[in-house]
Amino acid sequence: MAKISEVTHHTLYKDPENRRCVNQVNLRMTADNEIVAVFNEERFPFHHDSGRTVMMRSREGDVWDLQTRTVVLPFTDTTGNWDCGFCELDDGSWLVNVTITGFFKRGIKPEQPSWSNAPLTPEWGDWTWAYKLQGWLGSFVVKSTDRGRTWSDPIPVNARPLKHAGYRLGPWQLPSGSLLLGVYGRIRGYGEEGENESTRSALLRSDDGGLNWEYYSTLAYDPAGIIDYEEPALVRLAEGTLVCMMRTHVNPSGDAKNMVMTVSHDDGFSWSSPQWTNVWGYPADIIALNDGRYLMVYGYRRPPYGVRAVVSNDGLTWDVADEFVIREGGLPERAAVDTPGSSAIDPVSGTIAGGRVAPDNPGLFQHIGYPSVVQIPDGTVVVGYHEWSDDDRPLQYVRTARFKVVG
């Protein structure tokens, strides 16, 4: 059974002014053995999916120099972006994928009282207005040919027939040069739920370096509308088989279930039926280790919370009996002040009340993890993830764990 040793934890980035949450990091190695991290930087001190995409770099994954911090795609008065991923192409160019939202007062403020009486705060005003008018504008990539110094304008990603395509990680490049990008979304609805349709995971493909994309294949879909398949993570095995692991929820409760796996033997054109694993957690990221085994990391968003991992000898067999803990915890102990609800929370729920955070019912604070993983040349594994600080107003911030896989 695999174990980890020499575990250390480090801060990748925390807003020095305590004004913005940062979350949902994606790590990738470049050809010159540099770790690139892209992550969401919210425009608020709470989670809202309306901020900007930020990039930082490191050699070892323990020290992240603020001098390397750059904004890949800024927010504007009417748009924001989130759910970023990174990929270095064989020609040396860089791609960052993002989703863009339009939001805030894009319309006429109603003359009558708000349909919901909260949250209403001196700092943010009538938050229900922003909630009702925020909408998903689409999926995009930006491209750099000078290692991130400058970026192209956003390039639309065609995900049709999906109405929207959410990301978790960046694309992967096949030996042929084609790019594969795992997404999730729905055909009838623009949001993440509704219209009596379950969420499917799909594969988009580009054959021209990310300038044009098309819907290539369905990773998993439940036509009965019961199981949501979301946030796919891909890995290519040594002999060429593609393996995809997905987060699942069941409707109508929305309860999270074990991860499922699908397999492709033809570079992603067709996929096996979803196979349930005995591993609980979400979402995942997977890499091939230098010793030929495969490592999957995932968030653990129930007590005791944190980030976990499991090693597979062949990339096809995954067993919770081989699970180990990378990081435990990540929830704040308490919040001294009320916090407006996330854009994902119905405004009727109002604010997240200040006071002690209950691990069995933490509300918005359960949003931790979202790990991403790389291995550097000396064999050290570096995992990026986010958790909450213990400030009076808890903030999400991004950390890394470094360790060796032994056994």
Q: Is the pLDDT of residue 183 over 70?
A: yes
Whether 206 shows a pLDDT value over 80: the answer reads yes
Give the model's confidence band at 348: pLDDT under 50 very low, under 70 low, under 90 confident, else very high.
low
Q: Domain 71-376 is of which CATH architecture?
A: 6 Propeller (2.120)
In the predicted model, is pLDDT for residue 333 greater than 80? yes
pLDDT higher for 253 or 1? Answer: 253
Who has greater pLDDT, 160 or 343? 160
Exposed/middle/buried for residue 70 (C-beta within 10 Å: 0-12, 13-18, 19+): middle
Whether residue 103 has pLDDT greater than 80? no
Quick check: 231 and 219 in contact, CB under 8 A?
A: no
Reported confidence tier of residue 407, pLDDT bands at 50, 70, 90: confident
State mean pLDDT over 123-142: 72
pLDDT tens-place string over residues 27-41: 999 999 999 999 999
- List phi, psi (to 5°) of 58: -155, 155
Q: With a cut of 60, say whether residue 347 has pLDDT above it.
A: no
pLDDT (0 to 100) of residue 163: 92
Instruction: Name the range with the highest mean pLDDT among 75-89, 112-126, 208-222.
Output: 208-222
- From the number of C-beta atoms within 10 Å of its C-beta (0-12, 13-18, 19+), residue 184 rates as buried
Going by pLDDT thresholds of 50, 70 and 90, the confidence category of residue 106 is: very low
Q: Give the chain's mean pLDDT.
A: 91
Question: Which of the pair, 113 or 256, is modelled with greater confidence?
Answer: 256
CA distances to 6, 215, 290, 382 from 402, rounded to whole Å, are 8, 36, 16, 5
How distant, in Å, are the alpha carbons of 125, 133, 146, 334, 353 from that of 118? Answer: 10, 16, 47, 21, 12
Does 252 sit behind a cis peptide bond, omega within 30 degrees of 0 on the bond before it?
yes
Which position has the higher pLDDT, 48 or 144?
A: 144
Tally Cβ neighbours within 10 Å of residue 150: 11
* pLDDT higher than threshold 90 for residue 344: no
